[in-house]
Chain A
Amino acid sequence: MNKKIWKNKLFRWENALILILITEIIIFGLLNPKFLQARVLLGSINDFISICIISLFVTFVMITGGMDIQAGAIVGLTSISLGVLWQDAGLNIWAAVFVAILLGGICGAISGFFVAFAGVQAMVVTLGGQFLYSGLALAVVNLSSSSAFEGISGFPNSFIKLASGKIFGIPNQVIIFIVLIAISYILLHKTKYGRYVFLCGINKNAAIYSGIKTKLIIMSTYILSGMSASIAGIVLTSYLGSARADLGKELTLPIITAVVLGGTSNLGGKGGVFGTALAAVVIGIMRFGLVMAGLPTQYLDIPIGLLLIVAVAARTISSNPGFVRKAGKLFKRA
């Protein structure tokens, strides 16, 4: 029985990620001992909670063979909408939160609809969505009495507590992350719906022939990822205490990297929640650690970008035993 588990590639990969995580923590700890303090380590999640939350559900999208580049833009749109709904429309903060999550779902639904029903390439629709939703965020700012630069602040304490509070000493954000991991895990791996998601990704035609409503399933994954972007936006707004239209701008790369690094194949049909969660933490810790070690934030995309490329390229090499030989031949040809 143990042998079978170890044979499972995904499981092996997840263990490799755990190892990488531990290595990271050790290295960064050596560079800056403050890093190893539990308070700091656990608190670091504030920095990358968005990546964690969103990548969990972008996993669903990518398992169907799709792509979601607009999640980052939805974060900003959600944040500023939340602010405007609360400050200028006078909604109760929690009602505003509810509407904001709905909004994220709608954004996802629009793109998901075009991907699933009109057969448009996911990458392009969400690329357009990225611009549309970030543009809309700016438009929403104009609806408010505040300027884009200052954002909206002054949220009620109950809302601020959402991100900054602690339960039994564990930061709320960590708890939120764990809860979402549980939800996404159950959804993806334990329900019929999750199985349908996988089947649509492995072979959409065969899924149709099995009587599965593939279009709805595919569209729903975008709704999920849109809502997760909303949730991330809400948590981020709570943590910063300020609603801003430009939140989430730089998230696309780390999110995709987390999903791919976590073992989800870009071709669809393979992947898992745990892998993504681990990879998101690996990436988050890496960013956090690098910053603590003194790397300017604008440089962060370099290691992440490299990580993404290497992760996918390595997969090609590992699944293709004759690769080195073939690559050599290719260069001889050229």
Chain B
Amino acid sequence: MSTIGEPPISNAMISIRGICKSFSSNSVLKGIDLDVHSGEVIALIGGNGAGKSTLMKIIMGIYQQDAGTIYLNGEKVNMSKPSVALAHGIYLVPQEPMLFPNMSVEENIAIGFSDKKKELHTRIVEIMDQLGWNIRLDRKANTLSIAEQQLVEIVRGLLRNANILILDEPTSSLTFNEIKSLFQLIEDLKKKGICIFYITHRLTEVFEIATHVAIMRDGMITLKGSVINFTKEDLIKGLLPPEAKMKNTEKTEDNIEYSKLKPAFETKGFSGYGFRDINIEVYPGEILGVAGVVGAGRTEFATTVFGMDEVKSGQVFLGGEDITGLSTRQVLDKGLNYVPEDRHLNGIFKIGEVGVNISSAFLRNSSKFFLNTKAEKQLADKYIKDFRIKVTGQDQIMGSLSGGNQQKAVIARVLSTSPKVVILDEPTRGIDAGARCDVYAIINQLKKQGVAVLLISSDFEEIVELSDRVVTMYQGRINYRFNKKQITLDNLTAASFGVYEEDAYEIGE
């Protein structure tokens, strides 16, 4: 599956031709061509699952491409492992910092160097001064915040005199000031001739810091060029699949008669680790969108409601009944279920069959002691049909399904307990457009059935499309509430970044 691209431009610091990569049957990269020159910052944007991280890992030698070549300054290079990439001056600052938790900051930065300790120390201090970053070098890495860990990762790269720096969503956990410092640093690096791959999902940053941009969708680059040639709308267009915008599910214009309803789900002053003082209500038959950026505390809120973490204060009510602090199983039994954010970690039974995956929560009530395989099969059949899950049979191994089908199976499991309240956490992350539409249809179906839906998503368009009302969370608190008319992309983005200007008002309960 190799594409024969044009021969590499020899004055490019790094050129990629025809990179393809598949995992099992999943084709993640379908032929990537890219050139980056010295002093350029290329922003790489795309939805989850578009392949950005995979491409970067290939450049860094963590994965090997199935086809295609990487050229550095015109010469072909075989990135067989990270040390090769490091030796060529490439450094990847991962999205999730990969420090050594039990070593000090200084040890983390200096590891792998043979130079004298004193020399290294001076250089490190120099770099940190230049950045204006104040982290004590003798702190253990496991005491650092994610933001601080990211900073340490960046210092590591700088100490290695990297001339190709890969930053994978570097600002996702940084405060406003830290972002400013980072951008200043990037400007300095640009002047020094270092080229930077900058992966982000924040379009505004692209225009602030990048010289070039490339949009990836479904494993291919759909748009690339100098930043000055594009507007924000152009970028957004490049991100969406051409059909998706058309398949607008019947946007129910019917207003929900809130005055006639009692909330199916309610929290009062609910505080836990990562979130504080959450007061929300969700009514049967409505979709409450919960927008925010990574780290805003939405998932922590949901998992704590679901019995996975300690409650600090406040209460949770399900249909009027107090379910604060109940265990996961109890919450499930009471009628609330949760689609986990990270389906790989918490959602799928990868080496199990699809049927087993779907029935795992249903088992409890399906029989007393022995397995009721007939009921299980019926359940799985129903959902496979209703949700259009593409499988060769109930016995297909979950790991071989596409992301979208896996997600649908997880949703099926969550719905199999007939919950009255469903919390969905990033339900369409990393799935293809077709599956996304199917999931939207499922969510709208839930709404019709009178289920109360809490939709947590970092995909603002998704929130705009589906929600009846929206709350945005910022740094652990709810900062804004929007009624239907106010739900716009701009409002949500601004509020999620804590920079919302205009007045919004609460809908009367």
List residues of chain A with CB under 8 Å of any chain B CB: 4, 190-196, 198-199, 202-203, 205-213, 269-270, 329
> Judging by beta carbons under 8 Å apart, are B340 and A209 in contact?
yes
Contacts of A213 in B (CB 8 A): 329
**Cα distance A199–B356 in the bound complex, in angstroms:** 9
Report how far A286 CA is from B361 CA in the complex, Å. 43
Binding site for A on B (CB under 8 A): 80, 306, 308, 328-329, 332-333, 338, 340, 345-352, 356, 360-361, 363-364, 367, 369-371, 393, 395, 413, 417
Q: With A212-B360, A269-B352 as known contacts, state yes or no: A190 contacts B328, CB within 8 Å.
A: no
**What are 24 A-B pairs at a CB distance below 8 A?**
A4-B395, A191-B369, A192-B369, A194-B371, A196-B363, A198-B356, A199-B356, A202-B349, A202-B351, A203-B350, A205-B346, A206-B348, A206-B360, A207-B360, A208-B328, A209-B347, A210-B413, A211-B328, A211-B364, A213-B329, A269-B349, A269-B351, A269-B352, A270-B351
State in angstroms the CA–CA spacing of A193 and B364 once bound together: 10
Rounded to whole angstroms, the CA-CA distance of A209 and B417 in the bound complex is 12
Cα A270 to Cα B348 in complex, Å, equals 15
The chain A residue sitting closest to B308, CB to CB, is A208
Q: How far is the CA of A191 from the CA of B367 in the complex (A)?
A: 9
Question: Could you tell me the dominant secondary structure of chain B's interface residues?
Answer: loop
- Total number of residue pairs linking A and B with CB closer than 8 Å: 71
Name the residue on B nearest A202 (C-beta): B349
The closest CB in chain B to the CB of A193 belongs to B369
Residues of B within 8 A of A191 (CB): 369-371
Which of B338, B345, B417 sits near A205, CB closer than 8 Å? Answer: B345
A209 to B414, CA, bound (A): 9
Q: With A and B bound together, what is the CA distance between A193 and B369 in angstroms?
A: 8
Q: Which A residues are in CB contact (< 8 Å) with B369? A: 191-193
Q: In the complex where A202-B352, A203-B350, A270-B351 touch, is A210 in contact with B345 (Cβ < 8 A)?
A: no
Q: Roughly how many angstroms separate A4 CA and B328 CA in the complex, as a whole number? A: 37
Complex Cα–Cα for A193 and B371 (A): 9
A4 contact set on B, CB distance < 8 A: 393, 395
Contacts of B346 in A (CB 8 A): 203, 205-206, 209
A73–B338 alpha-carbon span in the complex (Å):
44
Q: In the complex the two chains form, what is the Cα distance from A4 to B349 in whole Å?
A: 21
A152 to chain B minimum Cβ distance, whole angstroms, is 39
Query: Given known contacts A206-B360, A207-B360, is B349 in contact with A199 (CB within 8 Å)?
Result: yes
Complex CA gap A199/B350 in Å reads 10
Cα distance A331–B348 in the bound complex, in angstroms: 36
Bound-complex Cα distance A202 to B308 (A): 19
A196 vs B349: C-alpha distance in the bound complex, in angstroms? Answer: 12
Chain A residues with CB under 8 A of B348: 203, 206
Nearest-CB distance from A334 to chain B (Å)?
Answer: 13
In the complex, the answer to whether B338 meets A209 with C-beta atoms within 8 Å is yes
How far is A190 from B389 in the complex, measured between Cα atoms in Å? Answer: 26
Q: How far is the CA of A196 from the CA of B329 in the complex (A)?
A: 14
Q: Once the chains are docked, how many angstroms separate the CA of A202 from the CA of B353?
A: 11
